[in-house]
Structure 1
Amino acid sequence: MKRYNDTTYAILGILTTDCNSGYAIKQFIDRSLNHFWKISYGQIYPTLKLIVQEELAEVRASSSPGKPEKNEYRLTEKGSQTLREWLEAPVAQLPHERNEILLKLFFGRYQSQENKVLLLQNYRQELEQRYQTYVTIEQGIMAHANQDEDSIYWLITLDYGKRTTQAAIDWCAFTLEKLTMG
């Protein structure tokens, strides 16, 4: 099996949904994948071009009255098979995290106490906002869960985000207590 980069597999996966134009793919990424997988707008069209060149998808021009022509992409059988093979292969490595908060706290001895506390309080507040965003997304998915076969999988990945965010919120509370107790 030829190996592609993860962005290619992500876009092949997105093409299994109703998203079939570059713009629709970007919207889908912003609403869902962006919470755990970053793909820049600048990566989408070169990846779509590669996918078409590799015969993993076909492209057709589409037009609607009063709208500019757009390209629509559809997976080929080869594209579906490539996606299935990647999905069924073992995960190559555990995910690793780059976390600026942890990096700054690692060198916390060189910061003022007030700054460390403020840093953690702000981080916790951002995490709480992220958690609420996940709750809102969850409600949206649940509202249409009966109509979409993918919803169970979207909810599973969303649950991971909720749980890890809650764990980080708990960690902030623990760390703030530890730092302020002296």
Structure 2
Amino acid sequence: MPYPGHVPSAYPGALPPPVNYPPPPRRRRLLVGGLGALVVVLAIALVVSIVMATKRGDAGPPALSNASATTAIQGYLDALTKGDDETVARNNSCGFYDVVTDRETDMTLAKLGSDAFRRQYEKATVATIDKIVTWSQYQYQVLFTMRATPAGRSQGSVQRQGIAQLLVQDGTILVCSYLPRNTGQF
């Protein structure tokens, strides 16, 4: 044993030089390059089609304007003031009114809401739209100021803020909920 701890090799002497392997066939390189180019072309086509689809006018309904929000909220306030419970219930059901089979609960809640509003105000008019917060292309939350005549008092009109949640559906703007902003002292 020439070296201590050395294990003898099964091959006597030095190893032969490494063998040069032939290069991969040219067809395989062309196939890989062609597939890479195809993937790039498909990615570009996908991006272009997405950009063209968004520019084509598929953006959905137009954004809610101050004028359309004022009209919708004023219609709802008028329904509350006149005791038009069906209009109040149609708005409050937020698009489900025509497909609900039992409307008794909806009508009861509408009556309670309009009765409470009439006990508070004789008349209410939307004065300004203070802010519109967009939740989606169909849903909005609107802070508005209304000029209202208190019920049973001759002190003139007061200004109160309210928040309305609006839904745009089938070209109609529904007031799904209305909450008065509290102006009382705490």
Q: Give the number of the structure whose residues are more often helix, by fraction.
A: 1
Q: Give the number of the structure whose residues are more often strand, by fraction.
A: 2
TM-score by length of 2: 0.21
TM-score by length of 1: 0.21
